Amino acid sequence: MIPAELRALPQWVPWRVEIRKGKPTKVPLNPHTGKRASSTDAATWGTYRQALATLDADGIGFVFSADDPYVGVDMDNCLSATGALHPAAWQIVHDLNGYVEFSPSGRGIHIIVRGRIARGRHTLKTPWNSELALYQSGRFFTMTGDGRGEIREAQDELTALIAYYFPEPDERQPVARPAAVCGDDAAVVEWLLAEPRRAALWRGDTSDHGGDHSAADLALCAHLAFKVGADPARIDGLVRRSGLMRPKWDLPRGDSTYGGITIQKAIRG
């Protein structure tokens, strides 16, 4: 069921499907006039009940405004024909842990949490080969009520999601590779094992980082960058031999991967 705090706001529009250039498009309507609404003009929105009462509409939608605390996360086509959720999309649902509902098509997922983002962000390079988008204002979500969960504060999780999938341009640039500071990899591993905290990271123990696997990944990469220099390929090879290695390391993040971005951050730091 749609959370009561959203239903209480006058930020609702009915919508209707129109065919444009041969493709179906969901068009927001003004519940007072039946004419087209604008996602940036509050005068064309109405209450939840007014949106529901609009005749000849295909559904209702919630409009995100700069005046509200909500962020919408839209994941298109992340569900298979059998209803299986892609693992990478499941991770986003799990991490944000907000209000989640199925889109009208039954193949997408909408998530609503509280937080702030600098701007709307989009990518087509998701692990499920479709679109991931985040909205703060100027857009509306088609709402089905076929969902679960509660809206919660998720600023830290949103920040992590944006850094993960939408790295800033400077994070995508490769770093020059100077000569390695240390000798062969065996010597690097020996150096790691010589100190208890470094040794724990090498074995995959994240307890020094509160169980935060991503923080442990970054810490190990920082140790390796200190020892071998700004050599992404060598750091990557060593991480793959460590106890911290996991499938997430190779998940795409924008034009890079989670592992690639982690290495670049460690080198710059």
Mean pLDDT of 113-133: 83
Please give the pLDDT value at position 248: 92
Is residue 182 over pLDDT 90?
Answer: no
pLDDT-above-70 percentage for the chain: 93
Is residue 163 over pLDDT 70?
Answer: yes
Helix axes 155-165, 87-96, angle to 10 degrees: 150
Burial 43-81 (b: 16+ CB within 10 A, else e): ebbbebebbeebeebebbbbbbbeebebbbbbbbbbbee
Most confident among 15-24, 105-114, 125-134, 173-182 (mean pLDDT): 105-114
Length reported for the chain? 269
Please give the pLDDT value at position 55: 87
Is residue 181 over pLDDT 80?
Answer: no
Please give the pLDDT value at position 204: 94
Please give the pLDDT value at position 175: 46
pLDDT tier, 269 (very low <50, low <70, confident <90, very high otherwise)? low
Residue among 197, 201, 195, 189 at smallest CA distance from 238: 189
Query: Structural domain boundaries of the chain?
Result: 4-165, 170-268
164 Cβ neighbours under 8 A, 6+ residues apart: 253, 258, 261
Helix (H/G/I), strand (E/B), else coil: 184: coil
Please give the pLDDT value at position 165: 81
Is residue 176 over pLDDT 60?
Answer: no
67-116 residue pLDDT tens: 999 999 999 999 998 889 999 899 999 999 999 999 998 999 999 999 99
197-238 residue pLDDT tens: 899 999 999 988 888 898 899 999 989 988 888 889 999 999
